[in-house]
Amino acid sequence: MAANLTATKPAAVGALLACTLWPAIGFAQDGGAPAVVLTSQQSAEAGSQIKKQATDITAGGPSSSSTFGNLARSIQIETDGDDTTASISLGLDRSHPLGQGRRNSDGSTRFSFATDTLNVTATAPLGKGGKPSLFDFDSLGDGTSLAISFARYVGSVDYFPANDARSLPALQSRLQSRCIDARSIVWVSGEAAGDPSKETLARLVATELRAKIERTKLELGHGPDLALPKLAQSDDPKIKALAAYLLKQCVEVPDDLLPTYGTDEEKAVRPAGGPNGLWFFGGRGKLTRTNYEYLVQAPLAKSDISHTGYKVEGFFGRIFNSGRTSLTGSFAYSRSYRANDEAQLCGPNPVPGQLSCFTGSLGAPVKNSRYTLAGEMRWLLPLGSAEDAPNIGLAPRVSYEFKSNAALFELPIYFAPNEDKALNGGLRFAYDTGKDDFAFGLFVGVPFSVFTN
Amino acid sequence: MSLSYGGQIMVSIEVKITGSRKWLAGIIEDHHGGVNPLDFQQDVARIGVAAGGPAWLSLYFWGNPGDEIKAEISKGDLSLAKRSYKIDPDGSAARAIQFDPDA
């Protein structure tokens, strides 16, 4: 079990859960009052602090369900205006084979692997004040909460042995070899600097190094991974310099080997039996204790009561082999309490001729059970055919609640990248058939991901 | 640390993967062609590898594009290999490392 402890300054303003990100900038149509009323200063602070908090939120869509248990593993104290929230999150993960490998007819062995993650998060508000969401479809409130989530991702690998040309080790050796040839020419050119005699010497060094690599391979079975580190310790300064250069270019930075040195055929197939998509399933549960203040009429007074709400949810889905699309289905049951509409009540005051007035929810909160079936797609869409073309992310989600016969349609569109060029902001549209209400708002700080949380 | 298994000298190694990913698979192949999948618990897998020749570690990931991952193979306190990777734009990555368990 690992518990990474980090703490943000209490002065840091930000949203801890994705649901609190939504209302940062947003308004509702339908002629109603704004869903969130923030002063311009609060809006500016929220915007900057939400960006700051982006790294504390595990990737996921900003839909109503993704506000569930998606915290990083940490201890945090965060504030948002007058509100302060503290959270503790612990996680377990394990990546392991499922059963024995199965021999395929092409000579490879299929191994299935699962990565399991279990997260437990406790959150408590340290300040006072409530804040409405754009749509609070879960209606769980924002009191002290305990959330637990489990997810399993399953994929398989067709493993070819290293002496097979189709294997990942063989592919990597070929790519490294091509890299060494290409980079040696660059090195020779740099060493020569237009001087033919220096070029001849540099070519000899490159040829000698190549011969040493080949000899090591024949004698010991060592590829560039093992040969170059040893040659980089050579007594010959030229061999040492070239080996160190090639080690850095062709072994220690291996991410661009396939794009740069792979053939079209090698690039076209997922590398050497790698996984073709993933299946996933899991569950989430959340328990929330919330204090509700409300008005009673006879006698006119303010009162309060605490209720425990909870939600349990199961989900399953598929990440397709492009790595850019996923589909998720889920079913959730929740029991929550909803505060009544606000009203102002006035009654006689002990001082003759004066009235005492109170503003608040009229009557005790009402218990509400919900059965929600939902489907969600996440799709990373390139805007152009070039490899470095920008992307937009779409995460349409449809939720249907059986008891109230209401549906919620949500469409977050991600188009704003962060400093690392990852999409983490955009526009979100939502329509609630139960309220016959349409809303849209801007969001920032919720990274796009095809993975569920 | 070395031990004998079925007449072979085995070397105990540790593979540590850190960084953000959603799915991870690791397979080690020794110089005899023995293939073993790895069981990572909280980022670390420990396994015995046949001594006497180089071995391959193949790693497969799924995660968010651009996320950084570090891999290290060690034998006791001795680091045998260290690599840094980034998840490819399609959300997956497959990388291999050759290492010498006799180092």
User: What ipTM does this complex have?
Assistant: 0.92
Classify residue A68 as exposed, middle or buried by CB count within 10 Å of its CB (0-12, 13-18, 19+).
buried
What is the separation, in whole angstroms, between the first and last Cα of chain A?
Answer: 19
Which residues does residue A142 pair with via DSSP β-bridges, in sequence order? none
Structure tokens at B83: 């690599």
What is the separation, in whole angstroms, between the first and last Cα of chain B?
Answer: 12
Dist. CA A185–CA A108, nearest whole Å? 36
Mark which residues 27-66 of B lie under 8 Å from A by CB.
27, 29, 31, 33, 35, 37-43, 53-54, 56, 58, 60, 62-66
For residue A74, what pLDDT is reported?
46
Dist. CA A99–CA B39, nearest whole Å? 12
Closest CA to A294 of A198, A246, A366, A231: A366
Chain B neighbors of A252, CB-CB under 8 A: 83-84
Closest CA to B50 of B61, B38, B65, B34: B34
| Total length of chain A | 453
φ/ψ of A92, rounded to 5, equals: -125, 140
Q: Give, in order, the Cα–Cα distances in Å from A113 to each of A110, B17, B86.
A: 10, 16, 21
| Total length of chain B | 103
Name the 3-class secondary structure at A207. helix
Q: Cβ contact (<8 Å) for A94 and B40?
A: yes
Task: Characterise A203 by phi-psi region: left (phi > 0), alpha (psi -120 to 50), beta (else).
Answer: alpha
Q: Cβ contact (<8 Å) for A324 and B91?
A: yes
For an interface test with B, give the residue of A95, A102, A381 to mutate (most B CBs within 10 A): A95
Chain B neighbors of A328, CB-CB under 8 A: none
pLDDT of chain A, 453 residues: tens digit per residue: 333 333 333 333 333 333 333 333 333 333 333 333 333 444 444 344 433 333 333 333 444 443 332 333 445 555 445 556 777 888 888 999 998 889 999 888 999 999 999 999 888 776 544 443 445 555 555 678 899 999 999 999 999 999 998 899 999 999 999 999 999 999 998 888 778 888 888 889 999 989 999 998 888 888 888 999 989 988 888 889 999 999 998 988 777 788 888 888 887 765 555 667 899 999 999 998 888 889 888 778 888 998 999 999 999 999 987 778 999 999 999 998 888 888 888 877 777 778 888 888 988 899 989 999 999 999 988 887 776 778 899 999 999 999 999 999 999 999 988 776 778 888 999 999 988 889 888 888 788 888 876
Q: Cβ contact (<8 Å) for B64 and A59?
A: yes
Low-confidence residues of chain B: pLDDT under 70: 1-7
CB atoms within 10 A of CB A415: 15
For residue A9, what pLDDT is reported?
33
- Helix, strand, coil percentages for chain A (3-state, nearest 5): 25, 40, 35
Dist. CA A263–CA A269, nearest whole Å? 10
Mark which residues 431-450 of A lie under 8 Å from B by CB.
447, 449-450
Inter-residue contact A340 to A325 (CB < 8 Å): no
Please report the beta strands in B1-103, taking only residues with DSSP state E, as ranges in sequence order.
Answer: 2-5, 8-19, 23-29, 35-37, 40-41, 44-50, 55-62, 68-75, 78-86, 92-99
Q: Cβ contact (<8 Å) for B58 and A168?
A: yes
For residue A129, what pLDDT is reported?
44
Kindly state the helix (H) or strand (E) to which residue A78 belongs, with its residue range.
strand A75-80
Inter-residue contact B11 to B102 (CB < 8 Å): yes
Closest CA to A135 of A453, A443, A427, A439: A439
Q: How far is A305 from chain B (nearest CA, A)?
A: 41
Closest CA to B47 of B3, B103, B93, B77: B3
Dist. CA B46–CA A218, nearest whole Å? 30
Inter-residue contact A289 to A144 (CB < 8 Å): yes
DSSP one-letter code for A66: G
- Whole-model pTM: value is 0.77
Helix locations, A29-167, DSSP H = 40-53
Structure tokens at A28: 């509702």
